[in-house]
Chain A
Amino acid sequence: MNQPPGVVTPSTNPATLLDVTGVNLSLRGKPILQDIALRLEQGHILTVIGLNGSGKTTLLKVILGLVKPDQGRIWLRPGSRIGYMPQRLSIDETLPMTVQRFMQLGVHQARGKAGLQRVRAALAETGAENVLGTPLQALSGGELQRVLLARALLREPDLLVLDEPVQAVDVAGQYELYDLISTIRDRHHCGILLVSHDLHLVLPASDQVICMNHHICCAGTPEHVTQHPAFRQLFGQERSRHMAIYRHHHDHQHDHHGTVVNIKP
């Protein structure tokens, strides 16, 4: 959180977790990513913002190795584990699967009796411990996001990649989730790369923001980016003025329905 604006870390910096340079990608002659570069350090949160269709999810896929770029280099610190939280699950109604089974599926850290303890702990950390036996299809939007986040944590990631983590969550829940993401960063000291199109909630939690529209429009600290003309042009004068950075200080908590539950003195 205390990184001064405009600091450029040399790639020899041992804190560097992810270094992306010169990424270009075209699909059917249409440029999707143009000369994208970014760097993420351990313990930092890097937020990529952009309108829908600006290529930000594609950028995530390139970083995750799901899509091969035409050009460019993606360097991840050797031996790093990635925890990925996808935007949503589109599992069929006919697939009977509880949260517990989903957590244990394909995550070798979650198998066996000790694994189940880890599953419980991860769910408790994201505030979803009460849905362990619930079928995936019966989860609310907020519960599903918490489960997906817990599953990503289960792999003890060095790099946490979150694609629109607060989608389909009400406003109170969004605050909570972003607080949670900050807490996770502090506790696990992992690097977090997240993509979002909603602005005023996500920015305060970030150390670094990249605003993109197929190319990088501007980058830097949240304060720096919100003042940048390119940012204002992209998100509209009015909206960005209203969004002049708002640090959210929580003096209370919400339950799953958004009701205030404990107000600190």
Chain B
Amino acid sequence: MDDFLLRALAGGMGLALLTGPLGSFIVWRRMAYFGDTLAHSGLLGVGLGIMLGIDPTLGVVMVCITIALCLVVLQRQRRLASDTLLGIMSHTALSLGLVALAFMQTVRVDLISYLFGDILAISSTEVYWIWGGGVVVLLWLALLWRPLLALTVHEELAQVEGVPVFAVRLMFMLLMAVVIALAMKIVGILLITSLLIIPAATARRFAHNPESMAILASIVGMLAVGTGIWGSLTWDTPTGPSVVVAAALFFILSMVVPLSRR
């Protein structure tokens, strides 16, 4: 097997491992649109990274965290409905990113690869980033698991029972920001949310508790990455979208597979 293929598989699988549990929470907490908004702000982060001469991944994390904090604060105001607010932020961030990149005429940015990912061009450093960052994210999520689950079931009940709701919610958003930064290279900012949501939704029918759904979602994600890369090589299709299409196929398959009633 070629090196680039190994790197692509390693990066993609590492990412799928993360998006399983995190994506499950996004589905349970109905935060798909929130994830989309964070992802769209990623492009602005790339621009910022180039402008400041730092690693674009770091720029993305910084911008995502800023946007997440802004959203938390704005949602506390309750003047605008949450989805209106997200709609405004999401598209403003994306457009601002495109405009910012257009201003930087000295650097050539491969816009398509940021929008839709370029997993076959992934470097060893980026693979290390994904696995290193991934371990941190998973450990962090494991610590956060119980309180996060409690406030997913009922936020006020959790608060009465002593869960530091605001802090937990904030930390979850930070985790999302980190994962989005890591995922950008694989599937691109426009498709990140799909890699978070589709495997989790696929796992739902086969899971009997939250943990099994998270693990199953990771497995589905890995299968999708493998199938997508294989399909992309076989039919010479763009890799990021191929991975998403593969995930969608697994989802459809999960809907039609008959389940024996226990």
**Chain A CB within 8 A of B149 CB:** yes
Residues in B whose Cβ lies below 8 Å from that of A64:
156, 159-160
Q: What separation, in Å, do the CA atoms of A105 and B29 have in the docked complex?
A: 16
Q: Which of B29, B30, B163, B200 contacts A106 (CB 8 A)?
A: B163
Q: How many A-B residue pairs have CB under 8 A?
A: 67
Q: Which residues 111-160 in B have Cβ within 8 Å of A in the complex?
A: 146-147, 149-150, 152-154, 156-160
Return chain A residues, CB-CB under 8 Å to B161: 84, 106-107, 155
Q: A91 to B152, Cβ gap below 8 A?
A: yes
Q: Name which residue of chain A comes closest to B160, CB basis.
A: A84
Residue B204 is within 8 A (CB to CB) of chain A in the complex: yes
- B207 lies within 8 A of chain A by Cβ: yes
Question: In the complex where A101-B209, A105-B149, A106-B161 touch, is A92 in contact with B29 (Cβ < 8 A)?
Answer: yes
User: A65 near B: Cβ within 8 Å?
Assistant: yes
**B201 interface contact, C-beta 8 A:** yes
| Contact A92 B160, CB 8 Å, known A105-B146, A105-B149 | no
Contact of B200 among A61, A94, A102, A155 (CB under 8 A): A94
Q: Is the CB of B210 within 8 A of A106?
A: no
Instruction: Name the B residues within 8 Å of A161 (CB-CB).
Output: 160
Does the CB pair A96–B204 fall under 8 Å? yes
Using Cβ atoms and an 8 Å threshold, which residues of chain B touch A91? 28, 152-154
A106 touches B146 (CB 8 A): yes
Expressed in whole angstroms, the minimum distance between the Cβ of A162 and any Cβ of chain B is: 12
Cβ contacts under 8 Å, B201 to chain A:
94
B:198-239 near A, CB below 8 Å: 200-201, 204, 207-210, 212-213
A95 within 8 A of partner (CB): yes
Chain A residues positioned under 8 Å from B212 (CB to CB): 96
- The answer to the question of B27 belonging to the interface, with a C-beta cut-off of 8 Å to chain A, is yes
Kindly provide the distance from the CB of A86 to the nearest chain B CB, expressed in whole angstroms: 5
Give the chain A neighbours of B157 by CB distance below 8 A: 84, 86
| Complex alpha-carbon distance, A92 and B32, angstroms | 13
Is residue A114 within 8 Å, beta carbon to beta carbon, of the partner chain? no
Q: What chain B residues lie within 8 Å of A97 (beta carbons)?
A: 153, 209-210
What is the CA–CA distance of A252 and B28 in the complex, to the nearest angstrom?
42
Q: Are B147 and A106 in contact (CB under 8 A)?
A: yes
Judge if A66 is at the interface, Cβ distance under 8 Å: yes
Q: Does A89 contact B (CB under 8 A)?
A: yes
Quick one: given A84-B157, A84-B160, are A94 and B150 in contact (CB under 8 Å)? no
A84 to B152, CA, bound (A): 16
Query: Is the CB of A82 closer than 8 A to any CB of chain B?
Result: yes
B154 and A89 form a contact (CB under 8 A): yes
Bound together, the chains give a CA A90 to CA B210 distance in angstroms of 16
Residues of B with C-beta under 8 A to A96:
204, 207-210, 212-213
| B160 & A66 in contact (Cβ 8 Å cutoff) | yes
8 A Cβ contacts from A71-102 to B: 82, 84, 86, 89-92, 94-98, 101-102
Chain A residues whose CB sits within 8 angstroms of the CB of B147 once the complex forms: 106
Of the candidates B27, B154, B163, B208, the one having the most CB atoms from chain A within 10 angstroms of its own CB is: B154
Roughly how many angstroms separate A90 CA and B149 CA in the complex, as a whole number? Answer: 13
Give complex CA distance A96, B151 in Å.
Answer: 15
Q: Which residues of A contact B200 (CB under 8 A)?
A: 94
CA distance A134 to B207 in the complex (A): 14
| Residues of chain B in range 12-38 having any CB-CB distance to chain A below 8 Å | 27-30
- The CA-CA distance from A75 to B204 in the complex, in Å, is 45
CB pair B159 A95 closer than 8 Å: no
With A65-B160, A94-B201, A98-B209 given, name 7 new contacts (CB 8 A). Answer: A84-B161, A89-B153, A94-B27, A94-B200, A96-B207, A106-B147, A106-B163
* 17 intermolecular pairs with C-beta atoms under 8 Å apart: A61-B156, A66-B156, A84-B156, A84-B160, A84-B161, A86-B157, A92-B30, A95-B153, A96-B213, A97-B153, A97-B209, A105-B146, A106-B146, A107-B161, A136-B153, A155-B161, A161-B160
Which 9 pairs between the two chains have the least Cβ-Cβ distance?
Answer: A106-B150, A84-B160, A95-B28, A96-B207, A94-B27, A94-B204, A92-B28, A106-B161, A64-B160
